[in-house]
Amino acid sequence: MKAHQSTIGRNDEWLTPPDVLAPLGKFDLDPCAPVNRPWPTAECHYTEADNGLALAWRGRVWCNPPFNRNERPKWMERVAQHGNAVMLIPAATETKAFFDHVWQKADAVLFLEGRPHFHYVDGSRAKANCGTSICLVAYGAHNAEILAESGLGKFISLNK
């Protein structure tokens, strides 16, 4: 039997592993980047101090939103509205937020193979994996193509 894991953790600043980011190409904006980061995820970064939900978004967006179940749906909605993005989220396919902002609005989903080990803001790799299945969600045909060619896991086109 699987132990229940809380969706409200002690830390919301987990860096995407570089081996996940590399095949995805360049991004113009990361609207929820950590203040301190050992590698860039985009040309422009908004941090918690900037409140990326309240600012204008431009270009191709990378979004690894807070995993907190109360905050994540806000980011999922904003990414779907923007329409040119790749988002990394838990593969909670049964949730209302997943139905509303992924199944109904995304162009594709890629389920990562295995559970990734995220990194701390100092760049060090977490000792344990993230404890849940993770997916990448594409908004826009170009982003869907990139996910399909990434080799990171199982790709599913949603053919809206």
**Sign of the C-alpha dihedral, residues 127, 123, 84, 79?**
positive
CB contact at 8 A, 91 and 135? yes
* CATH number 2.40.50 given to 18-157: no
Provide the whole-model pTM. Answer: 0.85
Mean predicted confidence (pLDDT) in 44-55:
94
- Of these ranges, 10-14, 92-96, 115-119, 123-127, the one predicted with the greatest mean pLDDT is 92-96
| Domain range summary for the chain, segments of one domain joined by + | 18-157
pLDDT at 85 over 60: yes
Mean predicted confidence (pLDDT) in 5-9:
38
Q: How far apart are the first and last CA of the chain?
A: 36
CA 9 to chain centre: 17
Mean predicted confidence (pLDDT) in 8-28:
78
